[in-house]
Amino acid sequence: AATGVPIDAALARRWSPRALDPQRPLARPALRALLEAARWAPSCFGDQPWRYVCWDRHRDADGFAAALATLSDGNRSWARHAAVLALAVALPDFRHSGQPNRWAQYDTGAASENLCVQAAALGLVAHQMGGFDAAAAAALAGLPERTTPMAMIALGHPAPADTLPEAQRARE
């Protein structure tokens, strides 16, 4: 990244590519490392008010297709090559008190950023998306009421930019 001042290399390497290799599965140890990085994010009272629901195209093609169908057309056009789609979910109440946690969504964003930085450190792609049908994703995942689907994240191995449709290559 061309930063205005020097920043840590792990942060400078993080970006959100769209070119993904559809042939390469995401190894379980790598997925566990991404989720472990999310787990170590700071959160109010250490409550960790996030959960991730993952659909792996190489292990559950039907589940992956259903998750893919919740994405906007523009995101679906490239995210279909991801190895995994992960839904980031914020839980609304503190576990220790049952009271509303107004920081849950903020904390879920921090966890997702940790996941993305870890992906960059492993040479993987993690691309967060807001363009998805949150209600459809919640229904697909069987989420409890009052939870909030925050983002869908495409995960996988990078591919050359020239594998993207022409319109997306320039953005890449």
pLDDT tens digits for range 126-145: 999 999 999 999 999 999 99
- Of the pLDDT bands very low, low, confident and very high (cuts 50, 70, 90), residue 50 is very high
**116: pLDDT confidence band, cut at 50, 70 and 90?**
very high
With a CB cutoff of 8 Å and minimum separation 6, the contacts of 164 are 18, 19, 78, 172
Asked if 54 contacts 64 with a C-beta cutoff of 8 angstroms, the reply is no
**Chain centre to alpha carbon of residue 81:** 14
Report pLDDT for 60.
Answer: 98
Is 117:11 a contact under the CB 8 Å cutoff?
yes
> 70 near 137, Cβ under 8 Å?
yes
| Dihedral over alpha carbons 158, 35, 53, 116 (to 10 degrees) | -40
Average pLDDT over residues 43-48: 98
Token readout for 63 is 């589940």
Asked whether the predicted pLDDT for residue 166 surpasses 90, the reply is: no
Question: Which residues, in sequence order, are bridge partners of residue 104?
Answer: none
In this predicted structure, what is the pLDDT of residue 15? 84
Q: Convert the pLDDT of each residue in 76-93 to its tens digit.
A: 999 999 999 999 999 999
pLDDT of residue 44: 98
Contact 171, 110 (CB under 8 A): no
Task: With a cut of 90, say whether residue 13 has pLDDT above it.
Answer: no
Return the amino acid letter for 68.
Answer: L
Query: How does DSSP assign 20-83, residue by residue?
Result: B-TT----HHHHHHHHHHHHTS--GGG---EEEEEEETTT-HHHHHHHHTTB-HHHHHHHTT-S
Nearest CA-CA partner of 150 in 98, 112, 95, 100: 112
